[in-house]
Chains A and B, each alone.
Chain A
């Protein structure tokens, strides 16, 4: 049910707002003991933003070290800790929760016409569990960090490393339950709490992608949990489950680790794809091309994503026959991703495109994810991977997806739903500028890394042959620009909370139940449970004026 022409924006300093979820109750306790999914989303937003900048700090130190060929800024032991902490923090404490815990939590009940998730108290518990796990890991960081790589390969992590492996492993173990409970909550909510008339194929694709993500949450995360538990126990009691000197097999660890960690990358990208589906339809004012294909592609990515983990282990000593199976399956998983890219493109074709900030991020996602995804196919090819494994080619590949893809999706979503979340409009000119800076900074940082990797520069080394310096300097320059770009939304989004124009209920003229509520919404979302009769994305081009 899309809104008609929206009211003109209010004055710069809005009159005292009606009651909404932000001002319904006051005080620290009302936030720390909230059961409102929207407030919990903001609790997560604050936490993950902190960890994003902490992880970014480690990235900055890494890139500073890599300005010169010699390992002269830090010792190699320290460098090992820098890239480990960067990886652990960015993966487990930023990327994995990001879109689901912030945007998923905020929007899923609203998108399905519900008052909250199925288990609101469990939702709050999920955030506390995240924070407890994060505290363990922060403790480890402050007390000297971990140097095993975020991958914790054995037997180094279990028998040799002198760093706080157990504390970090325990921290990630605990935080994993935050993921599991969030996924459980989403699955049950989507199955049992859809508004009348909201059949599965009327759901926004954002919901489909979060459902698929939640399947991965509940099926994969327990395996990394038990694996890290085994690592901690092995380290504590000097066991030999993964230690070849004691009859164990380190490759068993790798199987267990990657069984989670490969699907984990789909946890990181599927929600962003869900965001992109919403952005592309809104800002092309057009129905998605091939709704069912996109919906099933989400499920397909989630399922196939579980069958490919051995492509991280081609050179580990894994059987070459298993390698061939994993290689073939890895080619298959590219197909549903490609389907999505084609369908987004077809959606834009003959659409009425507007280049608002969220759409700029959507464009960024589509282009950069395509590059990252195609290079993934290079890596799925056994022979090529033997050459580029453990080089900067891999680093570039996954950053194109994680940063060029997932983070752009995240920022696009934050901007798109910012009026709903905060009740304010962000400054469009600054936001577009920041998006551009981020896009340019990102490419300058990571494209040279493809070349570096192909030329043979290994990853996780802080010293390199002098002929690689030019490309490294470009990469570091890019990283500074990227960092500056990320700081901008921090500034203007916070600014907008106080000084931004008041947002109408539906500034973009979007379809979707969340836009039928005021901005910001009341605590219970809907006074009366809506009844859905429309198909999703029922746009008619040109009919609605975008005010935002």
Chain B
């Protein structure tokens, strides 16, 4: 069990528009749904009606892309008010976003832009995480991003940054094992070291996804099946964390619901075999 006593919801998928009809008519046996917060915060039409139906029948977690927790603009209080209202409306088990920034000077570039892992960035982010948790009245859960740039000024690794942020700001971790793999390829580190050194007791959710290998770098596209190496990282991490709510992300070229669900259910086997052999931890 994680530090926050947040439950293992099982294996879920993202709630996407193209599957609305299927989900409402077939009521598939999915354990839970992850909902992209911003898609439902400004509409009072059909998407919100569908979400209400889904939230009646399935457990929900909210996942956002615009909090800009590492940004240097002031926190958007109106955004946080709407986010809190949506969390209450859907009885969300938790609210997550990304360790990143999304814009400054009032702009939003709608990308998960990379942070330098410095003492200044750590202090800044920890202060904002505490403020957000207070406003939302629940611990914020942050996802490790995939990134394409590394800053020379970084004085610690991403997993060290996340560990210290967790301690200083009491936040949970959404561990995206595909992002670990993508960043390890792009930055040239051993992904097993990352997996073995994140704070296991703060992991409240997993993301698994596919990516696009461009040869010189990997893009986090969520457009395919996950490769074997990503599943292996998932298996490795489960041995440290125990069974934790797991979600398969597919956002580009989204397949039929059954294909997506079948891909997500592959996680079951990895979760079950986690105790089969002792883990040789790779230290940083």
Are both chains from one complex? Answer: no
Question: Measuring CB to CB, which residues of chain B are less than 8 angstroms from any residue of chain A?
Answer: none
**Residues of A near any B CB (own CB < 8 A):** none
